[in-house]
Amino acid sequence: MTVELPLWFEIGSLIAITIVLLGDLTYAVLRPHHPSVKESALWVAFYVTLALIFAGLMFVVAGPKYGAEFLAGWVTEYSLSIDNLFVFVLILGFFAVPKKYQQEVLMIGILMAIVFRGIFILLGAALIANFSWIFYLFGLFLLVIGLQQFFSGRDDDVERENKLIGFLRRRLDMTDQYDGIKLQITIDGRKRWTPVLAVLIALGTADLVFAVDSIPAIYGITKSPFIVFTANVFALMGLRQLYFLLGHLIDKLAYLHFGIAFILTFIGVKLLLHALHENELGFINGGENVPWAPDIGTWESLAVIVMAMTVAVTASLIKLRKDVETGAIQLPRRVDEDK
C-alpha cells in the first residue's frame, strides 16, 4: 500500500539539498580551476550515487509508487539536461570563458536553472490542480517539441543562441577582458561590461527555454511537485561536472538528440492518453473517460526512457569510434592548464 510523503521527509530533503548546493557553490568559488577527467568523473559518480540513495529512501519512506516516480523523473530530467550541456558548450566557447572561471559561471547558470524550474513547477502544479484538461496542452506541446527535435536536431538551439549572442554583442558596451566573474571593470577611467554579463544572460535564456520543455515532461510521470522539484535538482546538480567530463564530446554524439526527441514524443503521447483516460471535457466522449485509452504506468515509462537513451548513446558511441578510426573526426586534445 502506498503512503503519502511525510512532511518531515520533504523538509529534511530540501534542507539537505540546500546544504549540498551551497557546499558545491562554495567549492566552485573558493577553488576556481579546470577539473581533470578523473575529478569530474568522481563528482558525477557522487551525484548519481546521491540520487540513487535518495530514490532508495523514497522507496523505504513512501513506498514503491513514489520511489518509482522519482527514479523515472530523475532519469528523464537527466536525459533532457544533456541538451543543456550542448548549449553550455556553445555559449562558453563563443565567449572564450577562461577555463579556470568556467566552474563558477556554470554553477551560477545551474542555480538560475533551478530557480526557473522551481517557478514553472509551482505554475504547473497550480494549473493541474485547477484545470484537468491541461494535460491535453502539455501532451500536444511535448509532441510538437519532440517532432521538432527529430527533424531539426540542435539547429534551432544553435540559431536561437547565435541570435541572442549577436544581439548582446551589439547592444552592450562590452570588453573582451575577464576579471574573475566580475560583471564590470574600469578601463581607461570608463566602466565597461565584461563578457560574464552576456554569458549569464545567454545561460539564463537557455535555462528558461529548457525549463519550459522539461517541466511538462516530468509532470507526465508524477503529479507530486516535491518529486518534480527534487528530480530536477538531482539532475542538475551534477551537470557542471558532466560538462567537464563530456563537454567536448556532446556535439559529436550524433544520435543523442534522437533519443531525447523520442522521450519527449513518448511522454507527449502518454500525457494525451492520460488526459483521455481522465477526460472531463464535454465535447470529448460526452465528458466521460475514453475506455480504450490506456494509462501508461511509471515502471513502463522508466523502461522506455532508459531504453531510448541507452540505444541513442550506444549508437552514437559506435559511430564516433568508427569516425575516429577512419579519420572523419579528430577528437580535440584536452588541455588542463588554467587559461
Question: Could you give the angle at which helices 195-219 and 99-130 cross, rounded to 10 degrees?
Answer: 40
Least confident of 15-24, 152-161, 210-219, 310-319: 152-161
In a domain, 111, yes or no: yes
Q: What is 161-217 written as a DSSP string? A: HHHHHHHHHHHS-B-S---TT-SEEEETTEEEE-HHHHHHHHHHHHHHHHHHHHHHH
In a domain, 299, yes or no: yes
Question: What mean pLDDT comes out for the span 291-314?
Answer: 86
pTM exceeds 0.75:
yes
Label residue 89 exposed, middle or buried (CB < 10 Å: 0-12, 13-18, 19+). Answer: middle
Least confident of 43-57, 188-202, 282-296: 282-296
In a domain, 86, yes or no: yes
Question: What mean pLDDT comes out for the span 40-68?
Answer: 91
3-state secondary structure of 236: helix
Can you give the residue range of the structural domain that contains 192?
7-326
Label residue 7 exposed, middle or buried (CB < 10 Å: 0-12, 13-18, 19+). Answer: exposed
In a domain, 334, yes or no: no
- Pick the closest to residue 247 from 100, 24, 93 (CA basis): 93
Averaged pLDDT score across all residues of the chain: 82
Domains held by the chain: number: 1
Q: What is 96-112 written as a DSSP string? A: T--HHHHHHHHHHHHHH
In a domain, 261, yes or no: yes
Does the pLDDT at position 8 exceed 70?
A: yes
In a domain, 193, yes or no: yes
Label residue 130 exposed, middle or buried (CB < 10 Å: 0-12, 13-18, 19+). Answer: exposed
In a domain, 339, yes or no: no
Least confident of 65-74, 118-127, 245-254: 245-254
In a domain, 338, yes or no: no
Do 139 and 275 contact (CB within 8 A), yes or no? yes
**Residue 14: predicted pLDDT:** 92
Does the pLDDT at position 119 exceed 50?
A: yes
Q: Specify the higher pLDDT residue, 29 or 320.
A: 320
